[in-house]
């Protein structure tokens, strides 16, 4: 697929993980939900959850893909003991079983 063909597909915003996954598949990127989330966490893939819905932009994904292929984006390597997605609120305690936050 040529750059012109990829850029032609890159003229719209993407709303929802399904739309993001389908676009990733169309430009030969990993397209399972787990793969996309892994790219978001470890490689700075341009997607964000807004109001409970994953949002992204086709043009930003194409630019990210080019930088990733060129080696301009380094992957973060997490140690097994590091927790990737468990943000703790400053000064708050969290129940480990229920994930409820207490003051």
pLDDT at 90: 46
pLDDT at 54 over 70: yes
pLDDT at 57 over 50: yes
Residue percentage of the chain with pLDDT more than 90: 41
Cα 11 to Cα 29: distance, rounded to the nearest angstrom: 18
Give pTM, 2 decimals.
0.65
Structure tokens at 29: 């990127």
* Number of domains forming the structure of the chain: 1
pLDDT digits (tens, 9 = 90+) for 2-40: 777 666 655 688 999 999 999 999 998 988 999 999 899
User: 18 lies in which domain range?
Assistant: 3-102
pLDDT digits (tens, 9 = 90+) for 40-49: 988 899 999 9
Cα 99 to Cα 103: distance, rounded to the nearest angstrom: 13
Q: Which of 59, 63, 62, 56 is nearest to 15 (CA)?
A: 56
Using an 8 Å Cβ cutoff, are 102 and 94 in contact? yes
């Amino acid at each position: 697929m040529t750059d012109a063909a990829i850029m032609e597909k890159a003229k719209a915003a993407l709303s929802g993980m399904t739309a993001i996954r389908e676009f990733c598949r169309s430009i030969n990127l990993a397209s399972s939900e787990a793969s996309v989330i892994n790219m978001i966490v470890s490689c700075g893939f341009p997607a964000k959850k807004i109001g409970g819905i994953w949002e992204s932009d086709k043009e930003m994904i194409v630019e990210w893909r080019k930088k990733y292929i060129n080696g301009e984006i380094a992957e973060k390597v997490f140690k097994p003991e590091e927790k990737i997605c468990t943000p703790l609120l400053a000064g708050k305690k969290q129940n480990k079983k229920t994930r409820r936050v207490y003051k």
